[in-house]
Chain A
Amino acid sequence: MPSRISPAGVRVKLSARGAGEKILPCIWRKRGNVLIRKHMSQFKEKAKILNAEEIKRILQRLTHQILESTPALTDIVLVGIQTRGVYLARRIQSIFKETEGVDIPLGTLDITLYRDDLTTVGVRPVVKETKIDFDLTDKVVVLIDDVLFTGRTIRAALDELMDFGRPKIVTLLVLIDRGHRELPIRADFVGKNIPTSKNETVEVRLSELDGLDEVAIGEKV
């Protein structure tokens, strides 16, 4: 549809065309020959919080904390929240394998369909894979996410998890807790607490997706 293609980097204004042809505010980026729509907000970095080595040590510590708190290893299952929670869960799974020699079952959860802000967020997220192909009944579920902020993602994840079965205990592991909870939710295993202001953003970058491991704090501009 050539009529819709605008030059890379040019903002397309919200304009009512015909019904069914409404275009939202966005930026066009060029990747190869394909024009890709990007949302307008951008991240302006202020400081690095964690580097690769620190992330690695934190994940090892958190794995040991899970072990400490759960008597029976066979009861533990990991569930990562899309997207970065899944990669963190996979790393914790491999630490379990290295240190204890056990394969802990791992599931993935995409909470998009359980969100409470589908109508208000500017980003219309892509629905990713949810896959829990083991029984949750009487298991100790370790729910894993990268950043704990308002707690709304976790609320959605808990709702979705309950549709899959009745775990004995659900615990929460996060790499970063940045505060500003809007719901009565807390994490059981926290990598690092980072006090932030509400208009700041924490970005967790993982090598599987972003090419390197680090955590940075910045502002949306």
Chain B
Amino acid sequence: MRKSNNINWTKKDLLDLENLSKEEIELILQTAASFKEVSTREIKKVPALRGKTVVNLFYEPSTRTRISFEVAAKRLSADVINISTETSSVRKGETLIDTGKNIEALRVDIIIMRHNYSGAAVTLARQLKASVVNAGDGWHEHPTQALLDMFTLREKLGRLEGLNVSIVGDIAHSRVARSNIWGLTKLGARVTVCAPKILIPPAIEQMGVRVSHNIEEALAGADAINVLRMQFERDKEKAFPSQLEYFKSFGITKERLKSAKKNIIVMHPGPINRGIEISSDVADGGNSVILEQVTNGIAVRMAVLFLVAQANDYIKTKK
């Protein structure tokens, strides 16, 4: 049993990791550890959010994150509604705030939102009394992905403090990278980001990370490596290296892992592009925890939904 601390969760939303304290992040991870057991029961459901309504509001296509949140909410007995903007009034020109207020008027308790604009989640959260959970906003943050990465790491290695974690891939366009950097550095891990120069944003060193343009350098001494998907769809200026070129210089292959620690943990937020950022033998190999990340994602998202719902209920009863 993990030792419990006396920190309480008091925020109605989860918007980013930048503005969370180390203790708050630890509370989420600790709560998630308790929730993991629920999914191993024969009856995979607890009544914690019975009577609550959760809306998945996705302005960008997503399967795994949306399904993960949906499964998490359902295992907490909440009712879940999925709104895809392809089929909603957004097509008719409704603003984000109006959409949010309309959803809130339906007495919805939690809005889980993915949006292509950085800062969209904060904007919505400020306007609403309902809880808002950021499921990825533009290039800004994707807090629950980073939390599940950290949860998996901690489960595998027992700690985060002092670990060397390398994040490889399109750092510039990656909200997953940004959330991971905030979270890992707060919990005392040393983070290296590795990519071709064009995919490293300027001044990223100010976030407290080491920058490398050499994959061997990033692998050396790393306890874990987080391989990001090459987001070619975001490459509007055609500035990215070609797929083959990228794989040759930065792809994670079995050959490359030989120079790394034997037990290095290989993570990937998915969906994986085999043969572009990672080879199949590594993705399916013994160092990979990619599918465990998916399983842990449910526990982490259950914890987040539970904590924001409780805090919001408390805030409402106090008024």
Q: Which residues of A contact B (CB under 8 A)?
A: 1, 4, 14, 18-24, 26, 34, 36-38, 108, 110, 112-114, 118-120, 122, 124, 126-131, 159-160, 163-165
Contacts and interface: CB of A to CB of B under 8 A. Distances in A.
A14 B318 contact: yes
A122 B315 CA distance: 10
A18 B314 contact: no
Contacts, number: 101
- Judged by DSSP, the binding face of A is loop
Nearest to B33: A129
25 contacts: A1-B19, A19-B125, A19-B126, A19-B127, A20-B11, A20-B12, A20-B13, A20-B126, A22-B11, A36-B7, A37-B6, A112-B48, A113-B46, A113-B47, A114-B47, A118-B310, A118-B313, A124-B310, A124-B314, A128-B4, A128-B34, A129-B2, A129-B34, A130-B34, A164-B42
Contact of A24 (B10, B13, B34, B316): B10
Contacts of B11: 20-22
Interface residues of B, number: 49
Interface of B: 1-2, 4-13, 15, 19, 21, 23, 27, 30-31, 33-35, 37-38, 41-43, 45-48, 76, 122, 125-129, 132, 303, 306, 310-311, 313-318
Contact of A119 (B6, B9, B41, B314): B314
Contacts of B8: 24, 26, 37, 124
Nearest to B1: A129
A22 B318 CA distance: 11
- A-B pairs, top 3 by smallest CB distance, nearest first, are A20-B13, A119-B313, A113-B48
B314 to A, nearest CB: 6
Given A20-B11, A130-B38, 14 more contacts: A14-B318, A20-B122, A22-B11, A23-B10, A34-B23, A113-B48, A118-B313, A126-B27, A126-B30, A127-B34, A130-B34, A159-B47, A164-B42, A165-B42
